[in-house]
Chains A and B, each alone.
Chain A
Amino acid sequence: MIFFGCFARNIFESSEPDVYYEPWADWVRQVCLSTILMMGGLELSFAGKGLTVVLLTIGPQFGEAFMAAICAKFIFDLPWLLSIALGFCLGAVSPAILVPSCMALHNENYGTKKGIPTTLIAASSFDDIAAITIFGVCMTM
Chain B
Amino acid sequence: MSIGAGSSELSDVEGSQGNPDKEEKDIGWLVAKNFIEIFSGLFYGFLVAALFSLTNYIPIPDKILVWIKMLMMFSMAIVTPILAYVTQFPEGKYIGIIFFGYGCNCLWKTKK
A63 interface residue (CB < 8 Å to B): no
Contact of B95 among A40, A43, A132 (CB under 8 A): A132
Are A42 and B95 within 8 A (Cβ)?
no
Would you give the shortest CB distance from A87 to chain B, in whole angstroms?
15
B13 interface residue (CB < 8 Å to A): yes
Would you give the shortest CB distance from B97 to chain A, in whole angstroms?
5
The closest CB in chain B to the CB of A126 belongs to B98
> A42 vs B109: C-alpha distance in the bound complex, in angstroms?
10
Are B98 and A125 within 8 A (Cβ)?
yes
The closest CB in chain B to the CB of A141 belongs to B27
Interface of A (DSSP majority class): helix
Are B34 and A137 within 8 A (Cβ)?
yes
Are B10 and A139 within 8 A (Cβ)?
yes
The size bracket of the interface on A is 20 to 34
Would you give the shortest CB distance from B64 to chain A, in whole angstroms?
19
User: Can you list, as one digit per residue, whether each of B1-33 has a CB less than 8 Å from chain A (1) or not (0)?
Assistant: 111111011100110000000000001001101
Would you give the shortest CB distance from A74 to chain B, in whole angstroms?
19
> A48 vs B103: C-alpha distance in the bound complex, in angstroms?
18
Are A140 and B27 within 8 A (Cβ)?
yes
| Given A23-B3, A34-B77, A35-B77: A133 in contact with B34 (beta carbons within 8 A) | yes
> A113 vs B33: C-alpha distance in the bound complex, in angstroms?
41
Are A79 and B4 within 8 A (Cβ)?
no
**Among the listed stretches A10-18, A24-32, A52-60, which one makes contact with chain B, having 4 or more residues with CB under 8 Å of it?**
A24-32
Are B82 and A27 within 8 A (Cβ)?
yes
Would you give the shortest CB distance from A89 to chain B, in whole angstroms?
11
27 example contacts (A-B, Cβ-Cβ < 8 A) are as follows: A26-B4, A27-B81, A34-B77, A34-B78, A34-B80, A35-B74, A37-B94, A37-B97, A38-B76, A40-B98, A41-B101, A41-B104, A41-B105, A42-B104, A43-B105, A44-B98, A44-B102, A79-B10, A125-B98, A129-B38, A133-B91, A136-B37, A137-B34, A139-B10, A140-B9, A140-B30, A140-B34
A-to-B contact residues, CB < 8 Å: 22-23, 26-27, 30-31, 33-35, 37-45, 79, 81-82, 125, 128-129, 132-133, 136-137, 139-141
B-to-A contact residues, CB < 8 Å: 1-6, 8-10, 13-14, 27, 30-31, 33-35, 37-38, 45, 73-74, 76-78, 80-82, 91, 93-95, 97-105, 112
